[in-house]
Amino acid sequence: MRTPTSPPETPPASMPARSPLAVPRTGPAPTVLDVVVPVHNEEGCLETSVRRLHAYLTGHFPYGFRITIADNASTDGTYRIATRLTRELGDVVALRLERKGRGRALHTVWSRSDAPVRAYLDVDLSTDLNALLPLVAPLISGHSDIAIGSRLAGGARVVRGPKRELISRSYNLLLRGSLLTRFSDAQCGFKAVRGDVAERLLPLVQDAEWFFDTELLVLAERAGMRIHEVPVDWVDDPDSRVDLLPTALADLRGVWRVGRALATGALPLARLRRPFGDDPRDHALRGVPRGLARQLAGFCVVGLLSTLAYLLLYSLLRQVLGAQSANALALLLTALGNTAANRRHTFRVRGRTGVVRHQAQGLLVFAIGLTLTGGSLAALEAAAPHPPHSAEMAVLVVANLAATLLRFLLFRTWIFAGEDGGGPAPGEDTGPAAGHHTGDESPDAHGGHRTDSSPDDGTRTERTTA
C-alpha cells in the first residue's frame, strides 16, 4: 500500500508562478473545485449534509465543482448511503478507504484529484457555507497558495463550550511558541489548497490522522507559501466523537517530530520555496545590492569574533614583538580568517571558484586596515613616547571600528558584489521539488455509474455524473 511516507519516485518540475485559473466562459463548466468530506460512521448526518452542500454549490458557486465523500473504513451504512448519493446527485464521488484516518483520506483524495483547487470540510457543516467562496477565491485568483477557515481570527463568530475553546486556544498557542507559527487556527475543518501546491507539498506530510492539518500548514509556512485566513461563523457539533486525550497526545508527538525535522534541516523545504517569479521582492533594483540587513548582521558576528581574536593575538605577540610588528601580524592572521568567514557565511559564496582572488583582494583591504591601525599607533607614540598598554588597546579598538566599516563596504561593493546568491545554508537542498503525485488516477470523467478498484491502496470509487 502506498502511504504518505512513501519515498519519492519522479520529482515534479519546479513550482510555476502563481496565476489566475483560466475558466472558459462557454461550453460545459470545468471542475475547478473538489470538495472532500471525510467521514467515519456518519450514516446519521451524511445524506442531509451532502445534499445541503450540493444544493449550496449548485445555487451559489460560480464554477464547476465535485464533491468527494471519503469514507474512512466505516463499519455502519455510511458507504452505502454515499454510493446512493452518487447515483442521485450529479458531480458526487464516493471513495472507500479500508484504513481509518482523516489525514490519510485527505492525502489520498487530494493526491488523486485533477481539480486546480482542492478543499475539505467537516461532515457536520459546523462552518457556515457562505465562507466557502471567500475561502477558495484567493486560490483561484492566484493570490494565495493555501486558505484556511479560522475560528480565532478577528471577525469570526463561534458558538462552542469553554472546554473546547480552551483546548483550541491552548493548542494554537503551543504551536506559536514551539514551531513559531503565524496562522491563527490550525485545526478548523475548513481548508483549501491549490492543486499545484498540493502535488508538491503532500509527499512531505507524514501524519495520517488529526495532525495532518497542522503539519501541512507548518511546512507550507516554513516554505514561504502564502496562507490566507478567512474568519468563519462556526457552531460546535455537540455530537463530536473526537477522543480528545489520545488526539492531544498524538498532536504533541507530531509537534515534536516536525520541530525536530525543522531544527535539523531534514525537510527539503528549499524545493518548495518561492520565488515563483511573482514576488515583488524578487525584482532587484538595478545597481542596488540585495540582502543588506542579513549581510550586515552576519558581518557583525564575524567582525566581533575577528576583533576578539585580533586583540588576543596582539596581546600575546606584544609580549615578544614591538607594537607595530605585533599589530601587523595579528591583523594579517585575522584578516585571512575574516575574509574566508565572510565569504562563506555573510555573502554565501560557495565552492573554490574565486577563492584565491577573494583572498588577494582581502589582503588589499587588510593593507588599508593596517594603514589605519598602524597610523593610529604611530600618532599615539608621537603624542606619548611610552603609552600604557590600555591606551594602545583603546586606540586600536577605535581604529578597528573604522577599518571594519570600510571593510564591509569594500566586501559588499567590490569583492563579493553580485555574488550573493541569497541561497540556503550549507547542506540545504536546492534541487527540484521532491516527491511524487501519489495516486495520479483521477475519477472517471465519462458518464454513467462506475466502480474503480486500486491495487495500491484498496480504495474504491463510486461516481455518477449528470
User: Locate cell 485566513: which residue?
Assistant: 229
* Other CB atoms within 10 A of residue 450 CB: 14
Q: At what angle do helices 78-88 and 46-60 cross, to 10 degrees?
A: 30
Q: How many CA atoms lie within 13 A of 106 on its CB side?
A: 30
The pLDDT of residue 246 is above 70: yes
**Most trustworthy range by pLDDT among 13-17, 82-86, 186-190:** 82-86
**pLDDT tens-digit profile of 79-100?**
999 999 999 998 999 999 999 9
**Cα distances (angstroms) measured from residue 147 to each of 33, 182, 247, 466:** 13, 14, 24, 29
Give the range among 45-49, 54-58, 368-372 with minimum mean pLDDT: 368-372
Q: Which residues pair with 26 in a beta bridge?
A: none
Mean pLDDT score, 355-377: 82
For residue 407, CA distances in Å to 15, 272, 306, 363 come to: 39, 36, 12, 11
For the cut 60, the answer to whether the pLDDT of residue 445 exceeds it is no
Mean per-residue pLDDT for 255-265?
90
Q: What is the mean pLDDT of residues 396-408?
A: 80
* Res. 398: pLDDT tops 60: yes
Where is pLDDT greater, at 24 or 81? 81
